[in-house]
Amino acid sequence: MFDLDATTLARLQFALNISFHILFPAITIGLAWVLLYFRVRFTATRNEAWEYAYYFWVKIFALTFALGVVTGVTMSFQFGTNWPGFIERAGNISGPLLGYEVLTAFFIEATFLAIMLFGKDRVSNRVHLVAAALVAIGTTLSAFWILSLNSWMQTPQGHEIVDGKFYAVDWLAVIFNPSFPYRLAHMTTASLLTAAFLIAGVSAGRMIRRVDGPATALVLKTGVYLAAVLAPLQVLLGDMHGLNTLEHQPAKIAAIEAVWETDRGVPFTLLGWPDEERRATHFAIEIPRGTSLILTHDADGEVRGLDEFSGRHPPVAVLFFSFRIMVGIGLTMIAVSWSAAWALRRGGAPGPRILRALSVMTFAGWVATLAGWITTEVGRQPWIVYDALTVAEVVAPHPAGKVAGTLLAYIVLYAFLLASYILTLRYMGTKPAKSLRMLGSVGKPLAAER
Amino acid sequence: MDAALPLVFLAIMGVSLVLYVILDGYDLGIGLLLPLASDREKDTMIAAIGPFWDANETWLVLGVGVLLIAFPAAHALVLTSLYIPVTIMLFGLILRGVSFDFRVKAATHQKRMWNRAFAGGSLVAAVAQGWMLGSYITGLAPSAVNVAFSVLIAATMPALYVVLGAGWLLLKTEGELFDKALAWGRRAMPFMGLALFAISISTPLVSRTIAAAWFSLPNFIGLMPIPLATLVAFAAVYWVLQRRNVALAGYAWIVLAGTALICVMAGLGLAYSLYPYIVLDRLTIWEAAAAPSSLKFVFVGVAIVLPFTIAYTIFVYRIFHGKATGLSYGERD
């Protein structure tokens, strides 16, 4: 089924690296704003529980950020080691966008995170607040630039091609390409949701194990309410993003919905087994006219099928399933966060069942984010720059064995790091919290404020 | 203007990479020295680089980023040729980077494992960088002589980092660890000297282009300040490392500053050797350069942002100046 040539291996390697990398920014982009919120609440209320929450989560932020940095450095090299043709031919576009990410985001994040971590006795609360705000802005700027580049690869515009090379003609058109606003909104919301479920899940775990401290309830509440507001919003954003994709990348949508032939009144396939060879979906559970209704907002609307993109459409089964995993988790997020918010609203703590559900959902954001990225990235195949440059044209001519060897090494290293990360979070999350009075140092920077 | 822009970016790239070698050099050097220290000293040593390493490593990302932005053809050629050493270096940097955080957060019994990963990662990264530098200087042509040359640099590059690391520890620590740092620096100096000597001697031997650039009059005389400054810096560093009372009397900074000066001189010498090539004898700066429209677009950003970057980097270095005690955010139990 799989022909493991050097191109496939290079793709697997890059997919592994970028999937592993995105786990960590998916947390930090959102968590940075949550930390800023904790810091602002502490400054406004002088309630030390907020500061306790801040320092507990800033440690987890630092660990997550470190993993994001080192795996991100890997990415900056792998463009060249795996896709030299992409840099040679599209470097005029991708270079500057990546460059702006380094310039406007990486240094700010790395430098001011040091103040958040180590600045306690060295800077005033105001400087600390500014540092937290700059780190949050930095993470978001980083998302802005990298998503702009990714979106340009999906929906390229603002360039001309001369002798096979891309040249920018209009930078604003390049940056603000058609899919960029939707992707940026969808991804930043995904990151905030990932962070919301992470903090709610870890807090719920502490409550279940009865190791909760003074800040646990506050953090849980923050996570639950944030999720309850954003989860439904994300469905709306996702729908808009999908309609944008339909306009610019109809083959991707046809694969997601497993629409084999162009038709009117197309049903929505809830579940099934898409079979690309027979060009049919087995065991399909369908909602009549559903796809037409979702995509054209008309029950009888026409939907373009895969038959129109024969030989130029992405693999159907991967997109079909990854999309459904993403949506399934999204809907579960709404159910869990609303139940929890309802329980909080009615006063008192959520019951053990809701706490357990939140705890199970701790890393739900990861799964949904990865499923979403697999949908959109595999959905771009066979192109690296949509409709203009294929992946096969730009791959490095390494022997397959060399790529397979390093791929194996990456798998071992990343499995080790992922296990260490989750175990460390578990260890930190289940250590009994100290009471505020025992934490002699909490509140000290205020007394020392100049 | 269009012809000058590639040179501007070459300068930015050179400055970023030299800054990386100096700044992350002391981080990596401290990683290399970690196994020689007691458990308590290990904590102090890592606290001494905790607030800085992350931003320090970012200079590498900027350097490689500028290579990608400004010289896409060279980025593709260099990184494809150096696929294996780059991958090995990345493994080292990954292990080193995550160990910083894991070692203070994981359960106590795992701390020793993360200390080892920290030291091991630093060593792997340092050796791989030496290898990459050696291969790059010799034009990415893997002949027997060139490989031997790369091995030599790979083996001696860690010594440079150790001296930088010792220099940083002299600024950030006191007491027993300060004395140890002096001894570590002293012991690494001969190897660093060997590295410098080997690079200076063998580069012209390996490449006729470089020999021609240096050993013709009047160039040779005009270039003398580079080796002379290197020699003076080397002697000054060695002199301070030999004399504890001088180091304690407030001259310890000479170790780091002198070694940094050596790095700057090496960078200048290398730039002169390679010019006008970006990959020796294969690709010139202008052949590899990106389109002027792209360079102009990034240059605007660089001109606006980089001064701020340097300003807040200095700001944060000033916040965390002084000895490293108390630079801890781990559990204090």
CA of B320: which chain A residue's CA is closest? A122
Mean pLDDT of B17-35: 94
Omega before B218 within 30 of 0, i.e. cis: yes
CA of B317: which chain A residue's CA is closest? A111
Confidence check: pLDDT of B75 > 60: yes
CA of B107: which chain A residue's CA is closest? A427
Confidence check: pLDDT of B27 > 60: yes
> Tens of pLDDT along B275-327?
888 888 788 888 888 888 888 988 998 899 989 988 998 988 888 887 776 55
Instruction: Chain B: give the shortest CA distance to residue A88, in Å.
Output: 5
Residue numbers of B between 49 and 108 with CB closer than 8 Å to A:
50-52, 54-55, 57-58, 60-62, 64-66, 68-70, 72-73, 75-80, 82-84, 86-87, 90-91, 93-95, 97-98, 100-102, 105-107
Whether A76 and B65 lie within 8 Å, measured CB to CB: yes
d(CA A95, CA B72): 8
Q: List the one residue out of B27, B325, B109 whose CA is nearest residue A70.
A: B27
Residue B332 touches partner A, C-beta closer than 8 Å? yes
Mean pLDDT of A191-210: 94
Instruction: Say which range, A404-413, B31-40, B133-142, B196-205, has the weakest mean pLDDT.
Output: B196-205
Mean pLDDT of A322-339: 95
Instruction: Chain B: give the shortest CA distance to residue A282, in Å.
Output: 43
Whether B320 and A122 lie within 8 Å, measured CB to CB: yes
- Which comes out higher in pLDDT, residue A311 or A93? A93
Per-residue pLDDT, B93: 93
Per-residue pLDDT, A185: 97
Mean pLDDT of A127-152: 95
Whether B329 and A120 lie within 8 Å, measured CB to CB: yes
Confidence check: pLDDT of B192 > 60: yes
HSE at residue A76, side-chain half, CA atoms within 13 A, is 29
- Give me chain B's average pLDDT, please: 87
Per-residue pLDDT, B326: 52
Contact present, B94 and A71 (Cβ < 8 Å): yes
- Which comes out higher in pLDDT, residue B195 or B89? B89
Q: Residue A448 — pLDDT band, cuts 50, 70, 90?
A: very low
Mean pLDDT of A95-121: 89
Per-residue pLDDT, A433: 67
d(CA A301, CA A259): 13
Per-residue pLDDT, A3: 55
ipTM of the prediction: 0.85
Instruction: Chain A: give the shortest CA distance to residue B69, in Å.
Output: 4
Q: Which long-range contacts (CB under 8 A, 24 or more apart) does B259-262 make?
A: B259/B22, B259/B160, B259/B163, B259/B164, B259/B167, B259/B192, B259/B233, B260/B22, B260/B164, B261/B229, B261/B230, B261/B233, B262/B160, B262/B196, B262/B230, B262/B233, B262/B234, B262/B237
Q: Residue B333 — pLDDT band, cuts 50, 70, 90?
A: very low
Per-residue pLDDT, A440: 41
Two structure tokens written together for B81: 């040729």
Q: Which residue has the tokens 């004399």?
A: B243
d(CA B44, CA B38): 10
Mean pLDDT of A121-148: 93
E strand or H helix that includes residue A283: strand A280-287
Mean pLDDT of A206-215: 86
Confidence check: pLDDT of A348 > 90: no
Per-residue pLDDT, A434: 64
Omega before A25 within 30 of 0, i.e. cis: no
Q: Residue B79 — pLDDT band, cuts 50, 70, 90?
A: confident
Confidence check: pLDDT of A444 > 60: no
Instruction: Chain A: give the shortest CA distance to residue B106, in Å.
Output: 5
% of residues, chain A, pLDDT over 90: 54
Q: Which residue has the tokens 């260490």?
A: A420
Residue A162: is it exposed, middle or buried by C-beta count within 10 angstroms (0-12/13-18/19+)? exposed
Omega before A382 within 30 of 0, i.e. cis: yes
Read off the pTM. Answer: 0.89
> Tens of pLDDT along A351-366?
889 999 999 999 999 9
Per-residue pLDDT, A169: 92
Whether A106 and B312 lie within 8 Å, measured CB to CB: no
Two structure tokens written together for B31: 């990683």
Which residues have a Cβ under 8 Å from the Cβ of B38 and sit 6 or more positions away? none
Contact present, A252 and A229 (Cβ < 8 Å): no
Q: Which residue has the tokens 């910083």?
A: B100
Residue numbers of B between 271 and 310 with CB closer than 8 Å to A:
290-291, 293-294, 297-298, 301-302, 305-306, 309
Mean pLDDT of B8-35: 93
> Which CATH number does B5-291+305-319 carry?
1.20.1630
% of residues, chain B, pLDDT over 70: 97
CA of A73: which chain B residue's CA is closest? B61
B interface test, pick of A103, A109, A174, A444 with most B CB neighbours within 10 Å:
A103
B interface test, pick of A83, A102, A121, A417 with most B CB neighbours within 10 Å:
A102
Residue A115: is it exposed, middle or buried by C-beta count within 10 angstroms (0-12/13-18/19+)? buried
The neighbour count for residue A18, using CB atoms within 10 Å, is: 17
A interface test, pick of B12, B101, B114, B172 with most A CB neighbours within 10 Å:
B101
- Give me chain A's average pLDDT, please: 89
Confidence check: pLDDT of A67 > 50: yes
Backbone angles phi, psi at A419, to 5 degrees: -60, -45
Instruction: Say which range, A120-124, A260-264, A331-335, B329-333, has the weakest mean pLDDT.
Output: B329-333
Q: Residue B214 — pLDDT band, cuts 50, 70, 90?
A: confident
Q: Residue A18 — pLDDT band, cuts 50, 70, 90?
A: very high
Confidence check: pLDDT of A447 > 50: no
% of residues, chain B, pLDDT over 90: 36
> Tens of pLDDT along B141-160?
878 888 888 888 898 889 99
E strand or H helix that includes residue B283: strand B283-284
> Tens of pLDDT along A284-306?
888 888 888 888 888 888 899 89
- Which comes out higher in pLDDT, residue B113 or B199? B113
Per-residue pLDDT, A449: 29
Query: Among the ranges A19-28, A86-95, A106-115, which has the highest mean pLDDT value?
Result: A19-28
CA of B68: which chain A residue's CA is closest? A95
Query: Among the ranges A174-183, A401-410, B62-71, B168-177, which has the highest mean pLDDT value?
Result: A174-183
Query: Among the ranges A154-163, A307-316, B238-247, which has the highest mean pLDDT value?
Result: A154-163
Per-residue pLDDT, A220: 93
Residue type, position A146, single letter: I
Contact present, A156 and A52 (Cβ < 8 Å): no
Two structure tokens written together for B166: 């010792």
